[in-house]
Amino acid sequence: MPKTFRPYDPDQILLLPPSVNEWVPEGDLAHFIGDLVDELDLSAILDEYETGDLRGYPPYHPRMMTKLWLYAYATGQRSSRKLAQLAIRDVGCMMLAAGNRPDFRTLNSFRLRHLAALEGLFGQVLEMCREEGLVRLDHVAILKGAKLAPGRSQTGTEGSHRTGTDAGSSCEGAGNWHWAGPQTGTKIGHDLALAQ
What is the pLDDT, as a whole number, of residue 60? 92
Q: What is the largest CA-CA distance in the chain?
A: 72
What is the pLDDT, as a whole number, of residue 19? 84
CA distance 150 to 173: 25
Q: How far is CA 91 from the centre of its chain?
A: 12
CA distance 41 to 123: 13
CA distance 12 to 50: 45
Q: At what angle do helices 115-132 and 104-113 cross, to 10 degrees?
A: 90
Instruction: Give pLDDT < 70 ranges for the chain.
Output: 52, 137-196
| 3-state secondary structure at position 101 | coil
54 in Cβ contact with 91 (< 8 Å): no
What is the pLDDT, as a whole number, of residue 114? 92
CA distance 193 to 31: 10
User: Model's pTM, two decimal places?
Assistant: 0.65
What is the pLDDT, as a whole number, of residue 95? 94
**Residue 76 burial (10 A CB sphere; 0-12, 13-18, 19+):** exposed
What is the pLDDT, as a whole number, of residue 176? 46
Would you list the DSSP string of 54-91? Answer: --SSPPPPHHHHHHHHHHHHHTT---HHHHHHHHHH-H
Q: Which residues contact 171 (CB under 8 A, 6 or more apart)?
A: 73, 118, 119, 122, 165
Work out whether strand 176-179 and strand 135-139 pair parallel, antiparallel, or are unpaired.
antiparallel
